[in-house]
Amino acid sequence: MSQSLAQILIHLVFSARDREACLEEHIHGRLQAYLVGILRHLACPPHAATIQPDHVHLVFELARTRSIAKVVEELKTGSSKWLKQQDPALTEFSWQDGYVVFSVSESRLRSLMLRLAAQRRYHAVSNYQDELRMLLAAHDMRFDERYLWS
């Protein structure tokens, strides 16, 4: 085959350092646009970006020439620098070191998009830690609670 093709749908979740609820609503739309811009620059077409006060969900297609680790590094480094310039309250901002990545099948993409669209309602009754535990369990991912939140 002379052509290389790939369709790898990714659901990426990462949080602010110490899960601090420091991303105020006035910055959500601009941060969302900034993250989507980074994804487009990396040739990783975005499907969804939702911002919560303490974490981010991104759904995108991973470019066949990019590694997940490199995309995450670009997203977190670029947006962290950008956030520090946007608000004096964010001059010490940083993202948590880790992240969680899930593969998404085309058949589950629509339900994921609907769930992410309902994030505000979901987080009115549940926190980030509970949500992440639920996602990890749904994907049968093993984890050590001692290291999950550092």
Tens-digit pLDDT profile for residues 83-109: 999 989 999 999 999 999 999 998 889
Can you give the pLDDT at residue 115? 86
Contacts of 117 (CB under 8 A, 6+ apart): 48, 50
What predicted TM-score, i.e. pTM, was given to this entire model? 0.88
Write down all domains in the chain, each with its CATH number in brackets. 9-141 (3.30.70.1290)
Can you give the pLDDT at residue 145? 78
Measured in degrees and rounded to the nearest 5, phi and psi for residue 54 equal: -125, 0
Q: Which long-range contacts (CB under 8 A, 24 or more apart) does 134-137 make?
A: 135/13, 135/100, 135/102, 136/100
Which portions of the chain are predicted below pLDDT 50? none
For residue 13, the surrounding DSSP H or E stretch is strand 9-15
CA nearest 131: which of 104, 100, 106? 100
Q: In which residue are the tokens 């499907």 written?
A: 47
Can you give the pLDDT at residue 150? 63
The pair of three-digit structure tokens given for residue 108, joined into one six-digit string: 């589950």
Q: What angle do CA 40, 6, 69 make, to 5 degrees?
A: 60
Can you give the pLDDT at residue 13? 95
Contacts of 24 (CB under 8 A, 6+ apart): 53, 87, 89
